[in-house]
Amino acid sequence: MNSIHSSKTLFLLITSFLLLHPQGQLALAEQSFDGYQINEITFHDSSVSGEILEPVLAAERTASLLLETASSTFSQDELVSTTLYLDPGGTPVNLVNSVFTYTTSTLALVGIDYSESGFSIFLNNQDATGTVSITALQPNPGVIARTKVAKIIFKTISLGTSTLEFIPDSRAFANDGFGTDVLKQVNQVDLETIF
């Protein structure tokens, strides 16, 4: 099974458990999934209340995925710390799938750091073409305020302009029991290696 297919398979499995059953609890254990070290997810259903959940309407999309750096200009061979944020915009979110590209002729991906993230379960994948996919989950009640998802470290490898840009595969799923995509907007970051 290739890494892209396995990532999508895991993404669908996790989505089924967390989004369709947001009132459940998770038991976690370290496991390996097709070369990735991840958390095994065991779902325990909780008691069912009389509340009927309604999906968030597409017109009510409120969430934003944002990439931010401390500066827009760098020197060659410098490390560039880029922070990925989720701003749910008032709608509780418990799963994000952020997919973005970077300019491989001017940047090299060094690593991804989740140590300060507001999420607790992660899966990431990157390929040689400069596409990075980060899936992050936070069990019920999810994330309700602007939250750091991950810190992505790049290294500048040549002079020129570098672009970090989200692609349409990115999603932010509401903690509404229906897995409703509430992503409204994303941003683009341009970096310049000048000397």
Q: Which domain holds residue 132?
A: 61-184
Q: Please, are residues 63 and 176 in contact by the beta-carbon 8 Å criterion?
A: no
What would the pLDDT profile of 49-91 be if each residue is shown by its tens digit? 334 445 555 448 899 999 999 999 999 999 999 999 999 999 9
Q: How many domains does the chain have?
A: 1
- E runs forming strands in 1-78: 25-33, 36-44, 63-69, 73-74
Would you say residue 87 lies in a domain? yes
Would you say residue 44 lies in a domain? no
* Element holding 75 (H helix, E strand): none
| Cα 19 from Cα 30, distance rounded (Å) | 21
Output the pTM of the full model.
0.73
What stretches in the chain show pLDDT beneath 70? 1-59
Q: Is the sign of the CA dihedral 149, 116, 71, 111 positive or negative?
A: negative
Would you say residue 176 lies in a domain? yes
